[in-house]
């Protein structure tokens, strides 16, 4: 017969593992609690290609007056000017954000191909092309070219 202590430990272990798996597989976005503005610039080409640029950008009035070019992957010192810290996980997190946004907004239903991307403290972006071509409904919903504010829940 199994002891109560064993069953409690087993139950706690299952709860811990399932919580860990849910947090690892749950879709979400990074950097949304920062001061960065999130936009999706879309363009549907005459050949039905659906292009986009997903962008996170610090507003112009909050950017520092001087431009600082940073070399390497690390920032040093106490930088309290806004923006985000760029690290080795930033490109991956940026792609995850873009994937989540284009799917949730209904722009790319079947995923996308990354064309280019960039990440800096005040401006992060991914340029991509949806895997599927535009339909008449897409053109009615999105037009052929516009910049949309990103409004999706986390």
pTM, full prediction: 0.70
DSSP code string of 67-132: --PPPSS---S---SSS----TTHHHHHHHHHHHHHHHTTS-SS-EEEEEEEE-SSEEEEEEEESS
Express each pLDDT in 28-67 by its tens digit. Answer: 667 666 678 999 999 999 999 999 999 999 887 777 765 5
Q: Are 128 and 114 in contact (CB under 8 A)?
A: yes
Q: What letter does residue 61 receive in the DSSP assignment?
A: G
Q: Are strands 112-119 and 123-130 parallel, antiparallel or unpaired?
A: antiparallel
Report, as an integer, the average pLDDT of 74-87. 61
Check pLDDT > 90 for residue 121: no
Find, among 41, 31, 83, 29, the residue nearest to 60 by Cα.
83
The domain spans of the chain are: 4-60+84-149
Query: What percent of the chain is predicted at pLDDT more than 70?
Result: 65
Reported confidence tier of residue 74, pLDDT bands at 50, 70, 90: very low
């Amino acid at each position: 017969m199994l002891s109560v202590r064993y069953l409690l430990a087993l139950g706690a272990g299952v709860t811990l593992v399932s919580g860990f798996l849910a947090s690892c597989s749950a879709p979400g976005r990074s950097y949304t609690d920062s001061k960065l503005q999130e936009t999706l610039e879309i363009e549907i080409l005459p050949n039905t290609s659906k292009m986009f640029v997903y962008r996170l950008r610090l507003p112009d009035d909050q950017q520092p007056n001087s431009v600082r070019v940073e070399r390497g992957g690390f920032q040093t010192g106490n930088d309290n000017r806004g923006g985000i810290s760029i690290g080795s996980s930033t490109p991956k997190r940026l792609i995850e954000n873009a994937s989540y946004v284009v799917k949730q907004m209904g722009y790319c239903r079947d995923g996308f191909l990354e064309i280019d991307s960039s990440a800096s403290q005040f401006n992060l972006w991914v340029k991509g092309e949806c895997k599927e071509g535009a339909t008449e409904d897409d053109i009615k919903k999105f037009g052929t070219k516009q910049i949309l504010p990103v409004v999706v829940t986390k």
